Amino acid sequence: MQSLLQFFPKRGEDGKMATVPKGRLRKFTSARTRDILRKSVKVAVLTLLVVLCYRWDQRRRFALDAVARDERMLNAERQVEGLRVLEVSRIEDEDPMSVYDQMMDPLPREGIRTGDAVKADEARAAPNPGEAPVSEKRPDGEGADEKSDKNEITDTEKKEESDNLWDAAEKETGKETKEKKEESDDVAAAKDPNPPEENKVPNAISETVEKEPEKKTDSAAEEIDNTKNTESLPQEPPRPASPASNGLGAFEKAPSEPREAPNEPANESLAVDGIEGTIGKLKDAIGGIKMKLDEMRPSSKMYYRGYENQPQAPAVVGPGSPSTARELERPKRDPAAGDSAGRFAREEDELIFGRREAGKERRQRLVSPWGWACVGGRCVKQERGGGRDLSSLSVCRLTCGPHGSLWPRPTLVTRIGESTIRFLFKHLTVDTIKAHGEGESLVQKAFDIFVNNLAKEHGNEEAAGHIPPEIFEQKVKVSIVVSGADTRLTLETPEAYTLDVLTQDQVTKVNVSSLSVFGARHGLETLSQLIAFDEDEGAFRIASPVTLTDAPAFKYRGILLDTSRNFLSVRSIERTLDAMAANKLNTFHWHITDSQSFPLHLEALPKMAFYGAYSPQQVYYPADVRHLVEYGRVRGIRVLPEFDVPAHVGNGWQWAEKEGLGKLVVCLNKEPWHSYCSEPPCGQLNVVNSNTFSVLSKIYEEMVSLFGPLDLFHFGGDEVNLKCWNTTEEIVRHLEEQGRGRGADAFYKLWSDFQERAFGLLTTANKGERIPGILWTSDLTLNRRAETYLDRDHYVIQIWTTKNDAVIRELLEAKFRVIFSNYDHWYLDCGFGGWVNEGNNWCSPYKGWQKVYDNSPHAIATDLTGAAHEDLILGGEAALWGEQVDDMTLDSRLWPRGAALAERLWTNPSHDWSPAASRLVHHRQRLVARGVRADRVQPEWCHQNEGHCY
């Protein structure tokens, strides 16, 4: 009943009825609620009584029909009917309310002849033991009665089969009827000591008497019952007596005597007693419900959207209060009812080692004496009282400072008012969406994600214990307008947006405008950061008025995940995409394969994953890939695949040589690995085997199908070991045949020829549409080799060396487009223990969020070349290589350092990390509330006392 009461509004202040405007649900008092429930119970009881009376009448009529039918029955049919009554009696003991249903679907009589029926017929037809039964056919046909031929089974085999059926039924029902003998015989005997046998008709209604505790019969009663059964069925073993079996004996003693209708007082009184017993039970149950209703006290909060019970929002404790604690108002509950949320218990209970046990003191809930006020752009913690207007920290952060708690910081116009508007979560709705074609559905999905994120952060805390009535009328309506038609992200897709929040009367209007659905999605993300939950009042607050114009500084803002060294689950990748969307990052660079494993299942080449996956459970199937591509798209993220060649291949390619394709990979698992690759295990493509390009073509075709439509593709292309090729006989012979020799330049030319051929295969797989390919910096880009061996129109170079490497200047001066991932700032796997040796790993030390934040691509370019080269620097990317990362450590390695990267690439601030520290700490809390297991940045004290942890 507690679950029913929670949907009724509660009593207002001072025990008075709360007043609300017309047209809304009126608040009833708890007494009124109980009165409604009592009336509902009474109606239910009356309905039940009507149903019982109807069923009683139907069963009585059925019994009368059974009497007329039984008069036309033969003895054998009566025995079958007796078996049915016995079975109904057994069923009735288990479920009395289902007896009528069982009787309305009676057992079939035609074609069923039990062994006992045949024996009874033989006994009547042959009274003398030595006389043959008339139903038995003689060779000469004498004594064969035509009627008996139609009604009796004369085949010996069928007779034996029927005997077996009867014996089986006897074994099953005999035991149960003996153990479940009821007191109904004693009750009938008490009312009528000598009832006539003709009145003992098999009547299922007489079996509805409430079952008493079982008790064994004495030996004399058993002998009497057995004698009756022996007289009625001479050839059967004795069975316990029951009203049904006694009635069956009456049939056999006088089969031709007419019987009276079963309307004697004995039978009717038994049925009435049964109904009265049932009604008595109902009365007891209703009495228990009433007692529980009287004991129940309503909770002092409203419930919206099915949220679980939460403690009431605390009242403000003034400075004169004797204590900062108050007793929590909790409704009493039945211990058997359970408490799934685990938030409420009996007042005398307390939580001990996870179990609720009787305690001596009542549970209390502390009410904080602290609040926050915005002073000088910081939320300052102060003690309540003295007329100070203080709010919770989350509400204070909405409007304090020029950018509130927004992350990443907007780049253009940012005006956030000092006031906030209170509203209830259910009153936040989308008003209009205007977009072209598929854009409308994408924006709707983005809005649903926006609402879901708010629910994750605050939704379960909503309560209305102390909310003024006017808040119930406050509405927040969101309108979204997208003027562009782009629904696929490219390097040229505009991601800018404008956001306006304005409140008039009781409606807060939010307008989001953009040139693409991705800009609109970014606007909704910003809107979610302008809303906070007020713990003091149990309602939401939105900053108003607000005017924002925002656009990213870089086109490419990415995170790299490596799923080849260690497998990452689809759920972990989804969580990474969610966190990227919360930070307005737009590229998920998926390094899906390497020499260690090939976890991608290709329908055209299934043996790649068969040989290359760590296990059958650690495979990305086509449905997984397509799901993640779409999952990212609706969150404004491109999923960029990387197929790293010609190095970083190995496991997964072993099948080719067995099928006559030759060696597609050379130096596979070759030792010592230090001489042939950068980390174990080794492996590089055999670039002189024509079958290599046939297989590579199929891989590109399927990857384009899975990840497409593509606007970028990553070829990898780093850490090619020339010694591996130079020690492979097939490759050396190929170079000698072409007269190239074995110098370094010959291998660089071989490498570049492979790269151009791979680019052509990708273009063919992409239906002839040429898209930019991305290559890591490598020996092929050093010493101005990029100008010689690579086409700047075909490739974008991703820089992973240090920020002061001369290759950066060379590439920018050669007009190559670049993406920054310099490992001295943006390699997030650095600073941990070595995995192939002792000490720290190769790129240590650890890169803290401050170092990530301060890495400016434009500043690096300016230092090296004297110009920012904004037209050539597409953006940047933080890389998390997977040698020491799996599902357990992924989130803490990425976040909140990935958020520091996001503000650098979205805002490109001119200052260092220190002005952003308080916002990052607060944003980290936001990510955790959304389910991201981000690493801690500072103690909670620093979060609550901004500016003191310097």
Task: Locate 241 and state its tokens.
Answer: 């007596």
**Catalytic site residue 648?**
yes
Decide if 487 contacts 442 (C-beta within 8 A).
Answer: yes
Given the residues 403, 648, 714, 922, the one annotated as active site: 648
Decide if 591 contacts 644 (C-beta within 8 A).
Answer: yes
**Catalytic site residue 486?**
no
Decide if 529 contacts 405 (C-beta within 8 A).
Answer: yes
| 811 three-state secondary structure | helix
Question: In whole angstroms, what is the distance from residue 801 CA to residue 777 CA?
Answer: 8
Rg over alpha carbons for the chain, rounded to the nearest Å, is: 43
Question: In whole angstroms, what is the distance from residue 302 CA to residue 563 CA?
Answer: 47
Question: In whole angstroms, what is the distance from residue 594 CA to residue 685 CA?
Answer: 12
Residue 726 phi/psi, 5-degree rounding, is: -75, -15
From residue 394, how far is each of 39, 417, 629, 641, 919 by CA, in Å?
Answer: 46, 16, 34, 39, 11
Given the residues 161, 719, 854, 886, the one annotated as active site: 719
Residue 515 phi/psi, 5-degree rounding, is: -95, -5
Question: In whole angstroms, what is the distance from residue 59 CA to residue 271 CA?
Answer: 10
Sheet strands (E) in 592-728: 638-645, 665-666, 684-685, 713-716
Question: In whole angstroms, what is the distance from residue 876 CA to residue 821 CA?
Answer: 6
Decide if 575 contacts 630 (C-beta within 8 A).
Answer: no
Pairing between β-strand 638-645 and β-strand 713-716 as defined by DSSP bridges? parallel
Print burial letters for 800-838: b (CB count within 10 Å at least 16), e (below 16): bbebebebbbbbbeeebbbbbbbbbbbbbbbebeeeeee
**Which residue type occupies 421?**
I
> What angle do the packed helices 115-125 and 156-179 form, to 10 degrees?
110
**Catalytic site residue 594?**
yes
Decide if 814 contacts 787 (C-beta within 8 A).
Answer: yes
Paired with 499 in beta bridges are 512, 548
What is the helix (H) or strand (E) element at residue 169, kind and residue range? helix 156-179
Question: In whole angstroms, what is the distance from residue 693 CA to residue 685 CA?
Answer: 10
Planar angle of CA 552, 558, 531, nearest 5 degrees? 55
Cis check: omega of the bond before 681, within 30 degrees of 0: yes
**Which residue type occupies 932?**
V
Distance spanning both ends of the chain, measured CA to CA: 55
Note the residue count of the chain: 950
What is the helix (H) or strand (E) element at residue 423, kind and residue range? strand 420-423
**Which residue type occupies 72?**
R
In the block, which residue shows the tokens 């043996």?
Answer: 607
**Which residue type occupies 9?**
P
Decide if 890 contacts 576 (C-beta within 8 A).
Answer: yes
Taking every pair of Cα atoms in the chain, the longest distance, rounded to a whole number of angstroms, is 130
Task: Locate 50 and state its tokens.
Answer: 């009507």
Residue 367 class from Cβ within 10 Å (0-12 exposed, 13-18 middle, 19+ buried)?
middle
Given the residues 594, 891, 903, 946, the one annotated as active site: 594
- CA nearest 451: which of 536, 548, 527, 534? 527
Cis check: omega of the bond before 195, within 30 degrees of 0: no
- CA nearest 648: which of 696, 728, 593? 593
Check residue 142 and report its DSSP letter. Answer: T
Task: Locate 838 and state its tokens.
Answer: 């002792």
Catalytic residues: 594, 648, 719
